[in-house]
Amino acid sequence: MVSLYLNVTPPRPFKSELHSLIHEKRARLAASGVEKGLRRNIDEVLDRIRAHVDGLRTLEGARLLVLFATPDGFWQGYRLPVALPSRLYVEPDPYIRPLTALLEEFDRYCVLVVDAREARLFTMYLGEIEEHLGFFESDTPSWISEGDGRAARGPALGVGPWAGWREPKIQRHIQDHVHRHLKQVSDRTFQAFKRFSFDRLIVGAPEGREGKIYPMLKRHLHSYLQGRLAGVFPGEPDMPEHELKKRALEAAQAHERAEEERLIARLLEESQHRDGLGVLGIERVLPALMLGQVHTLVVDHSFRTPGRVCPADHYLSLSEDRCPLCGGKLAPVEDFVDEVVEEAIAQGAEVEHVFTEHPEFSAQGSGALLRFRV
């Protein structure tokens, strides 16, 4: 299986970069002693990939081209809106580690931006944001807004824009309109959750958590939405979309890093106790995985090590030559961690990729939270 991850972000010369990757891969395969017949088959696949990429005319909106191909005609391609380093692999099976990292790093977010009168709703995935129009039609009067009279205007308040503003009756009237508006926004957001099945909710509101709107909105949010709340940022519905996207991405990244910190802290704590449900280092992760103990596999995104895999039954080993299950010869692989990730997914385990530096964990490169101890 040939797996290609090609960074096609403009104005990158990705076609010449692919030619270099293919040239280097052919040289490495020849130097490693791969049998000539197999090398011919691989060369044919590489030629098909090169011809396909050379023939591309437009990749609008794409920053990463992913291709999987085999000598027997299998071909599958994807165009993704996020960039990764260009890589070319020839392995017994697809090289999926970058895809699992993308899926784990980029949850599907709902971004709700709301004030006392208006609301906008977006979904955000793989760094792209899409607005969904028509969800909100508030009946809140246009003269109502957050604040102590900052935006009060119009004859409804009396002879002047400030007349009667502090009267309790008018205050209650305003509060009632705002609460009805936020209740409607909350209900529509829950409808969006059922329709789009997003993983996390990010809220933009005037002055963020410190303003008056967010605490009022939170009281109306369905418990399912409150449980998915990942961040709050200062924002208003009339802001430009690019600015809302920037702030929402910052909130999402902060949430991901905080979750990562909690995960690493738990892993380190569990691994320090004799009966703890945690192990550190690929040498301890591998036997736990082979015994089906792994609940959550944790890998540093930059950690790589060579290893061997059985093409027949996916037995994994760091050094053995023969599979103890079928007796077949184990095939060497460049990135053994990719095979570990694939096995974890096949067993139904969670996979978490760590993107920031944690000295104690990064020195090991991998770890796992276990379902049980043997």
pLDDT digits (tens, 9 = 90+) for 209-252: 999 999 999 999 999 999 999 999 999 999 999 999 999 999 99
With 70 as the cut, is the pLDDT of residue 355 above it?
yes
**What's the pLDDT band for 334 if we cut at 50, 70, 90?**
confident
Residue 57 has pLDDT above 80, yes or no: yes
Say what the pTM is: 0.73
Q: Does residue 185 contact residue 94 with C-beta atoms inside 8 Å?
A: no
With contact defined as beta carbons under 8 Å apart, do 316 and 286 qualify? yes
Please tell me the least confidently modeled range out of 169-178, 319-328, 337-346.
169-178
Confidence band of 89 (pLDDT split at 50, 70, 90): very high
Residue extents of the structural domains in the chain: 2-90, 109-259, 272-370
More confident residue, 58 or 73: 73
pLDDT at 156: 42
Q: What is the CATH number of domain 2-90?
A: 3.30.960.10
Q: Is residue 81 classed as helix, strand or coil in its secondary structure? A: coil
Residues 6+ apart with CB under 8 A from 28: none
Answer yes or no: is pLDDT of 92 > 60: yes
Q: Please state the CATH superfamily assignment of the domain spanning residues 109-259 in this structure.
A: eRF1 domain 2 (3.30.420.60)
Q: Which tokens in the block code for residue 50?
A: 């090169």
Q: What is the pLDDT of residue 107?
A: 84
The percentage of the chain sitting over the pLDDT mark of 90, rounded to a whole number, equals 67
> Is the pLDDT score of 362 beyond 90?
yes
**Over pLDDT 70: what percentage of the chain?**
89
Q: Could you tell me which residues come within 8 angstroms of residue 237 by beta carbon, excluding any fewer than 6 positions away?
A: 113, 114, 115, 118, 119, 120
Tell me, which fold does domain 272-370 have in CATH?
A: 60s Ribosomal Protein L30; Chain: A; (3.30.1330)
Average pLDDT of the segment spanning 306-316: 91
What is the amino acid identity at position 178? V
Give the whole-angstrom CA distance, residue 80 versus residue 200: 21
- Per residue in 154-187, pLDDT tens? 444 444 554 554 566 666 767 788 899 999 999 9
Is the pLDDT confidence value at 67 over 90? yes
For residue 151, is pLDDT > 50? no
Which pLDDT does position 140 carry in this prediction? 53
Q: Which tens digit of pLDDT belongs to each residue from 105-148?
A: 678 999 999 999 899 999 998 878 899 987 675 555 555 554 44
| Torsion of Cα atoms, 69 then 75 then 81 then 87, to 10° | 10
Q: Count CB neighbours of 189 within 10 A.
A: 24
Q: Report pLDDT for 150.
A: 43
Quote the distance between the C-alpha of residue 222 and its chain's center.
Answer: 24
The pLDDT score that the predictor gives to residue 148 is: 43
DSSP track, 5-56: EEE--TT--HHHHHHHHHHHHHHHHHHTT--HHHHHHHHHHHHHHHHHHHT-
pLDDT over threshold 60, residue 79: yes
Residue with tokens 């009168």: 117
pLDDT tops 50 at residue 371: yes
Q: What is the mean pLDDT of the chain?
A: 88
CA distance 116 to 33: 69
Per-residue pLDDT band at 41 (split at 50, 70, 90): very high
For the segment 267-280, the average pLDDT, to the nearest whole number, is 94
pLDDT value of position 311: 87
Residue 280's pLDDT is 97
Q: What is the average pLDDT across 8-16?
A: 91
Mean of the pLDDT values across residues 295-312?
92
